[in-house]
Amino acid sequence: MKRNYLALVTLMFTFLFSSVYAQKNKQQTLDDLFLKNGEIYFSFRIFNRDEIPVLTRIISIDNVKGNEVYAYANRKEFGNFLELGYTYTVLPHPGTLLSESELNMGGNQKKPHSGTVWNFYPTYDQYVAYMQGFASDHPGICRLDTLGTTTQGRLLLSVKLSDSVNVNRGKPEFFYTSSMHGDETTGYILMLHLIDSLLSGYGSVPRITNLLNNFQIYINPLANPDGTYAGGNNTVGLAIRYNANGVDLNRNFPDPAAGQHPDGYPWQMETKAFMHYDTIHHFVMSANFHGGAEVVNYPWDTWAKLHADDTWMQFVSREYADTIHLHSPSGYFTDLDNGITNGYAWYTITGGRQDYTTYFHFGREVTIELSNVKLLPAGQLINYWNYNKRSFLNYIEECSKGINGQVTDTVTGNPLRAKVFITGHDIDNSFQYSNASSGWYYRPIAQGNWALTYTCLGYYARTINGINVTNRNTTRLNVRMVPIGFGIKNQTQKTFTFVYPNPSNGNVHLLLPESGTGSFTFTIFDITGRLIQSGTIDRAGDKVVFPLDLTQLPKGIYLFKLDGGKSVYKNKVIIN
């Protein structure tokens, strides 16, 4: 007994001592690792993929290849990770791998000019000047939006490209945003290049002219400027993943499964700005660009359930990747299933903007990883543009495929905000709403035969069956909705005669439109609208005919009104 007691005390002492020792060790490790850096990049092995949903809430997983996990962490996150006891390897930070000559900062031109060759990384000031220049040089088709500012006071900028740049005429809204991970810069330059080519091609390239005439395209090339320019405004050479507060912006959004703050941090200024932009627009489709892999990642990231439009998601992702394969060296954009993957199947994350936009704003957003190398040498940027440029346009055009049309009030013709629901298909907020000011809705959907139900408060629901859709084609479905009560009242006034006979000598009968209990009130007006007589008729059972003596009234035309509570009937009556 005593001996056992001693053994227990020894065990406890040993445990206590080793715990203190480990704590001290951990402190030293953290001090060493985070002496100069706010974030580190590292890898480790897992035994089982079931570990990923737990790990993804502690550190920022960047890639999973077999059992090898690549991740980023700030000091607090890495402290928690160390508690789990994994053996890890700290890797060189991807934002530090290029020489100044490989970055080609500022290129050959220090000032932006038209005919720019996009084979360099701009300084921050150049970037802002380019964005302002796009709008000021093309005021009819380009508008600059400032979404907000960052912790360090940099600007979150987006351009709108459309022939109706200052109004919303109901054309589908589309959004590209890049580099919310500041060290994944390929998409940053490719989006500047895309804006430039859309603006310069308008009016001369039919496909581009068509795009700007029929869509409202929004492009934000740089979603995390504090991360990209962490080394100062004149270089992207020390770019980091997180924002200036050490927060991964692609884990900071409300999540359909994990709640409002899945990462435990308050919404960052960048996050709030993009949430607001999503709220004031309705992006039918969107994509956010990253680096570190080469794949289209489609919803959902947060849970294993498939999106209702999983078949369509695979179709547009496949189209994006396959088009690249026709125009790139073999081996490019072939990660996972030859360049496409379901998000959860690759590795789950919570708080990503893809799921946020798709779930909370009824959108269709994918995450596109453009290059295995995060900070691509500037000399390769033109090549990656050439691989991706057709896919950028294809993906935008998918907005207007599937089923679309305008929902209006059948009486007034006014546009309506109606819920557009695919019967037996829609789940998890996959339905759409028509736009309140234009009545237009856009429902990209896979090839097939669909039934659509339209609902709007104050209107009869409408279901339309047998709508046939084929891939990359448009089925136009304009729908007029009937206000509740409108049809009944109108029809009754036209067809139901309740004064009999008519004309008469004043001896008439009132014929009630229905039997049952309750009462009707009747009122009689002369042609000037003056009230002549009124009364109440109590219904009893099946009796619907009631005599009324009006022989004392002067000859003339009278208006009879019969009010049953739910319905009002009017007859014009002649007494002679």
**335 in Cβ contact with 345 (< 8 Å):** no
Instruction: Give bridge partners of residue 121 from the DSSP assignment.
Output: 105
Please pick, among 39, 173, 294, 369, the residue that the annotation labels catalytic.
369
Nearest Cα neighbor of 518 from 547, 540, 496 is: 540
Q: Least distance to Zn ion from the beta carbon of 343, Å?
A: 12
The helix-helix angle for 206-214 and 186-201 (nearest 10°) equals 100
Q: How far is CA 573 from CA 488, 497, 531, 563, in A?
A: 22, 10, 14, 16
Please identify, using beta-carbon distances, which residue of 81 and 289 lies nearer to Zn ion.
289
Distance CA 339, CA 371 (A): 11
Q: Least distance to Zn ion from the beta carbon of 372, Å?
A: 12
Range 125-154, binding Zn ion (CB under 5 A): none
Under the binding rule (CB under 5 A), the answer on residue 374 touching Zn ion is no
Two tokens, residue 45 = 């092995």
Q: Least distance to Zn ion from the beta carbon of 289, Å?
A: 8
Nearest Cα neighbor of 461 from 435, 444, 479 is: 479
Please identify, using beta-carbon distances, which residue of 181 and 282 lies nearer to Zn ion.
181
Please identify, using beta-carbon distances, which residue of 180 and 479 lies nearer to Zn ion.
180
Distance CA 545, CA 552 (A): 21
Distance CA 389, CA 387 (A): 6
Please identify, using beta-carbon distances, which residue of 181 and 419 lies nearer to Zn ion.
181
Please identify, using beta-carbon distances, which residue of 372 and 523 lies nearer to Zn ion.
372
Range 184-243, binding Zn ion (CB under 5 A): 184
Q: Least distance to Zn ion from the beta carbon of 326, Å?
A: 26
Q: Least distance to Zn ion from the beta carbon of 184, Å?
A: 5
Cα–Cα–Cα angle for 89, 60, 352, rounded to 5 degrees = 160
Q: Which of 181, 193, 307, 401 binds Zn ion (CB under 5 A)?
A: 181
Size of the site for Zn ion (CB under 5 A): 3
Of 174-182, 262-270, 473-481, 523-531, which segment contacts Zn ion by CB under 5 A? 174-182
**490 in Cβ contact with 570 (< 8 Å):** no
Whether 102 is catalytic is no
Range 282-301, binding Zn ion (CB under 5 A): 290
Cα–Cα–Cα angle for 373, 379, 383, rounded to 5 degrees = 75
Residue type, 277: Y
Which single residue brings its beta carbon nearest to Zn ion? 290
Unique residue bearing structure tokens 């993929």: 49
Q: Least distance to Zn ion from the beta carbon of 366, Å?
A: 13
Q: Write the CB contacts of 506 (distance below 8 Å, at least 6 apart in sequence).
A: 549, 550, 551, 552, 553, 575
Of 105-113, 175-183, 430-438, 531-539, which segment contacts Zn ion by CB under 5 A? 175-183
Please identify, using beta-carbon distances, which residue of 184 and 226 lies nearer to Zn ion.
184
Long-range own/partner contacts, residues 396-399 (CB < 8 A, 24 or more apart): 396/174, 396/211, 396/215, 396/217, 396/285, 397/211, 398/285, 398/316, 398/319, 398/444, 398/472, 399/172, 399/174, 399/215, 399/284, 399/285, 399/442, 399/444
Please identify, using beta-carbon distances, which residue of 85 and 92 lies nearer to Zn ion.
92
Q: Least distance to Zn ion from the beta carbon of 66, Å?
A: 20
Please identify, using beta-carbon distances, which residue of 290 and 364 lies nearer to Zn ion.
290
Q: Least distance to Zn ion from the beta carbon of 143, Å?
A: 28
- Strand pairing of 142-149 and 68-74? unpaired
Residues that bind Zn ion (CB under 5 A): 181, 184, 290
Which positions are annotated as active-site residues? 369
